[in-house]
């Protein structure tokens, strides 16, 4: 039986597990639901130290979500140079950055009205 995730919290938990499995850094969740005209309900943002780690994070998220929920991202962009990869799960969009690109684009400040939750990692 295929399980479809309708609860975004469940999807976000799987995404965070996938990020943590390959030691992604600086994980933030932006809750966009109180902002008008947004493309999704949540952003999950993290960074890696290299294009290899960024792609490892993306692959880890895909495997974790696919195995647990049998869901695939609607779209993935940016894997060629892996400086900023966007994964679209419709209501949850994941941004996996290299640190310098994350600082440059500063999405958290662009979406300053969002409720931001920082995830503590133990590594």
pLDDT tens per residue across all 123 residues of the chain:
345 566 889 999 999 999 999 999 999 999 999 999 999 999 999 999 999 999 999 999 999 999 998 899 999 999 999 999 999 999 999 999 999 999 999 999 999 999 999 999 888
Instruction: Find, among 92, 78, 99, 104, the residue nearest to 25 by Cα.
Output: 99
How confident is the model at residue 122, as a pLDDT?
Answer: 85
- CA gap 89, 79 in Å, rounded: 16
Query: 66 CB contacts (<8 Å, ≥6 apart)?
Result: 72
- CA gap 94, 58 in Å, rounded: 9
How confident is the model at residue 2, as a pLDDT?
Answer: 44
Predicted structure pTM score? 0.93
How confident is the model at residue 98, as a pLDDT?
Answer: 97
Strands 92-98 and 84-88: antiparallel
């Amino acid at each position: 039986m295929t399980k479809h995730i309708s609860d975004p919290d469940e999807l976000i938990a799987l995404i965070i597990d996938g990020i943590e499995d390959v030691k992604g850094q600086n994980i933030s969740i932006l809750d966009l639901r109180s902002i008008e005209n947004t493309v999704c309900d949540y952003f999950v943002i993290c960074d890696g130290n290299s294009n290899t780690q960024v792609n490892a994070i993306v692959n880890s998220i895909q495997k974790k979500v696919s195995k647990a929920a049998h869901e695939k991202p609607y779209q993935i962009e940016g894997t060629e140079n892996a400086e900023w990869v966007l994964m679209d799960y419709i209501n949850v969009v994941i941004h996996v950055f290299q640190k310098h690109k994350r600082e440059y684009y500063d999405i958290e400040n662009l979406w300053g009205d969002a409720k931001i939750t920082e995830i503590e990692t133990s590594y």
